[in-house]
Amino acid sequence: MISKARLQKLAEEHGTPLLVIDHDELRKNFQMFRKYLPRVQPYFAVKAGADPAIVRTLFEEGASFDVASMPEFKVVYEKIKHLPARERQQWIWDKIIYANPIKPVETLRELNKYKPLVTFDNLDEIEKIKEHAPKAGLVLRLKVSNTGAMVELSSKFGASPGEAVDLILEADRRGLVVEGISFHVGSQTTNFQNYVEALNLTADIYTEAKARGYTKMNLVDIGGGFPAPYDKTVRPFRELARLINSEIKRLFPKNIEILAEPGRFFVATAGYSVSKIIGRAIRDGKPSYYLDDGVYHTYSGQVFDHCMYPVKAFKRGKAQLSAVFGPTCDAFDVISQAEYLPSLNRDDLVYSEKIGAYTYASATTFNGFSPAKVVHVNE
Ligand SMILES: *Cc1c(COP(=O)(O)O)cnc(C)c1O
């Protein structure tokens, strides 16, 4: 937790718009994940908060990483490239999964040097991998139910259960090695049953593959989706963990490695934004505040992540229904039409909490406004 006084001080020191990342909170979230899911190795999904400092802290805690582009791969590889070649190969598998099922040929060619784990979900990708990255280890991405997730992730990726084993056998016929199966139940999943269903489906596919003669699979990657505690409606992580643990224990022998790809869960609560009121007006009878940060910037999560970040004042005072806008000329740049704020003046600061996931990571420079400055505390 960063106190309001500290946030204000940081804003005075660094200016606004500001995005503060609390590394104690990153460590706390990581440790909670390990504590409640001891059999699961977390591969942090770098896209949720792509920052080398975050990668460093989580690496030091013992995290592995899910990357989905070559630049993300390189940020993580920086951490292991100094290791002796012999050890490096094991480290790459232990530390990185390239979890984008569709990879440009140029990326595959480059990845082939490192022989990482990569996901796939269709025949065309098998052909590409065979030609350009035959040394990679393959993980089949399975399409699973995303019901009740805030962000749906199954419409674009995933082999259907009916074609899964055919694809595994096809990859095998071409001399590739399929190491296991992955899925994603949808981001910020509040429907815990999705994990149960997906794990059972995965176990069925393991059984079918074995029955059809393929026995080389040894990992299950349960993806991301672990919900951040944005508000009180989100059930505690330990409840979800209990459910996952018992299903894993029931369905998979001990020698099967279990991976996960949490993104949001590690970084959401570690982020705080502080911005400044640069103008005010009365519109439709409502006090309307214009901030130096908006939906093209730190609040981009409201668009891409379907998440809302309440705007809060440091000042006390009688709350009034107010509107909060971003700084650009676009009428789309609305943070909220209904925020309860005290009467605020130009240059007053406001803040939002739990704004670390899919926020500054998707900020643009639209209209010439720079994204918030990122500062790291408690590193
Ligand atoms: C985005 C993504 C994640 C992270 O998901 P969260 O819901 O943030 O935990 C994990 N795996 C894959 C393949 C993703 O695309």
Nearest CA to ligand 1 atom 3: 224
- Reported pTM: 0.96
Residue 319 sits in the same domain as residue 235: no
Q: What's the confidence (pLDDT) of residue 86?
A: 78
Question: pLDDT per position in the chain (379 positions), as tens?
Answer: 999 999 999 999 999 999 999 999 999 999 999 999 999 999 999 999 989 999 999 999 999 999 999 999 999 998 888 888 777 877 888 899 999 999 999 999 999 999 899 999 999 999 999 999 999 999 999 999 988 888 888 889 999 999 999 999 999 999 999 999 999 999 999 999 999 999 999 999 999 999 999 999 999 999 999 999 999 999 999 999 999 999 999 999 999 999 999 999 999 999 999 999 999 999 999 999 999 999 999 999 999 999 999 999 999 999 999 999 999 999 999 999 999 999 999 999 999 999 999 999 999 999 999 999 999 999 9
What is residue 329's DSSP assignment?
S
Residue 137 sits in the same domain as residue 279: no
Residue 88: is it exposed, middle or buried by C-beta count within 10 angstroms (0-12/13-18/19+)? middle
Residue 326 sits in the same domain as residue 222: no
CA 276 to ligand 1 center in whole angstroms: 32
Q: What is the CATH number of the domain that holds 218?
A: 3.20.20.10
Residue 36 sits in the same domain as residue 170: yes
Cα angle 186, 191, 193; round to 5: 100
Residue 238 sits in the same domain as residue 119: yes
Index of the ligand 1 atom closest to the CA of residue 101 = 13
By most ligand atoms within 8 Å of CB, the mutation choice from 154, 184, 244 for ligand 1 is: 184
Active site residue 329: yes
Place of tokens 């084993």: 165
Residue 213 sits in the same domain as residue 362: no
CA distance 324 to 349: 13
Q: Out of 267, 289, 321, pick the residue that ends a domain.
A: 267
Residue 287 sits in the same domain as residue 229: no
Q: Decide if 198 contacts 179 (C-beta within 8 A).
A: no
Number of independent structural domains in the chain? 2
Residue 208 sits in the same domain as residue 313: no
CA distance 300 to 307: 9
User: Could you list the residue range(s) of the whole structural domain that residue 355 is in?
Assistant: 4-19+271-377
Q: Out of 267, 287, 310, pick the residue that ends a domain.
A: 267
Q: Out of 199, 234, 267, pick the residue that ends a domain.
A: 267
Residue 288 sits in the same domain as residue 323: yes
Q: What's the confidence (pLDDT) of residue 146?
A: 87
223 lines ligand 1 (CB under 6 A): yes
Q: Decide if 129 contacts 105 (C-beta within 8 A).
A: no
Is the bond into 253 cis (omega within 30 degrees of 0)? no
